[in-house]
Amino acid sequence: MRNQANAPMAEQFETLEQQEEVSRLGMWAFLATEVMFFGGLFMAYTVYRHAYPHAFAIASKHTNLLYGTVNTAILLTSSLWMAFAVHAASEGNRKLLVRYLLLTILFAFGFLGVKALEYRQDFLEHLIPGRDFAVPEAPKSEIFFYLYWAMTGLHGLHVLIGIGLLSVIAWMSSRGRFSEKYYNPVEVSGLYWHFVDIVWIFLYPLLYLIDRHV
């Protein structure tokens, strides 16, 4: 069944509210699998940081704290735009909805841009595990950087997927597919976007701020 604004309810549902609740719970169930997905990496991080605390602290000082902090602010702000977008959708304000979605996407690109600058610097400083790895005072910090690349890489992939998802939602919004009665896809995509934000909230102190005093 097509999700037209005047007939947005799929036939298996009794009411719009029921459809809303089902899709919201569906997204939360998916996000629970995402917690498990990232959870494996956070678990590995915990085990190795416990095993090599000193090497992790030294490695962490090699990351670029300024880029990390700026990116946290960018991502938190993009979440604000997303919340505004859902708010505009709930008022049936199509123009504002599209505008806030585009702002969210713009900030997501900003995040990836800063990340690209940071990756470039990491690359030039030989912070990639392997033969040329350049933290001689703590060889075990290589493990930190395995996790750094894997975790920020996986998170970056989620940002990229989020950009794709929100672009589709923005396009649908501009075509008038949503109304104040039916904007569930906007809200559910917002849940995904905020989740990506939450992952970064934890990556920021765990990667950039382990111990500033070693």
Which residues of the shown chain bind other proteins in the complex (CB under 8 A)? 20-21, 24-25, 28-29, 31-36, 39, 42-43, 46-47, 50-51, 55, 65, 69, 72-73, 76-77, 79-80, 82-84, 86-87, 90-91, 138-140, 180, 183, 187, 190-191, 194-195, 197-198, 201-202, 204-206, 209-213
For the bound state, the minimum distance from the C-beta of residue 34 to other proteins, rounded and expressed in Å, comes to 7
Give the residue from 98, 123, 64, 99 showing the smallest Cα distance to 178. 98
Q: Which is nearer to other proteins, 51 or 161 (CB)?
A: 51
For the bound state, the minimum distance from the C-beta of residue 196 to other proteins, rounded and expressed in Å, comes to 10
Q: Which is nearer to other proteins, 47 or 168 (CB)?
A: 47
Classified as helix, coil or strand, 182 is: coil
Side-chain-side CA neighbours of 104 within 13 Å: the count stands at 33
Q: Which is nearer to other proteins, 123 or 211 (CB)?
A: 211
CA distance 29 to 187: 15
For the bound state, the minimum distance from the C-beta of residue 4 to other proteins, rounded and expressed in Å, comes to 19
Q: Which is nearer to other proteins, 124 or 132 (CB)?
A: 132
Q: Which is nearer to other proteins, 34 or 156 (CB)?
A: 34
For the bound state, the minimum distance from the C-beta of residue 2 to other proteins, rounded and expressed in Å, comes to 21
CA distance 77 to 107: 8
For the bound state, the minimum distance from the C-beta of residue 64 to other proteins, rounded and expressed in Å, comes to 13
CA distance 199 to 150: 13
Q: Which is nearer to other proteins, 161 or 201 (CB)?
A: 201
CA 81 from centroid of its chain's CA atoms: 14
CA distance 148 to 159: 16
Q: How many residues does the chain have?
A: 214
Q: Which tokens sit at 103? A: 């702002």
For the bound state, the minimum distance from the C-beta of residue 156 to other proteins, rounded and expressed in Å, comes to 19
The continuous run of DSSP H or E covering 126 comes out as none
C-alpha angle 85-90-92 in degrees, rounded to nearest 5: 95
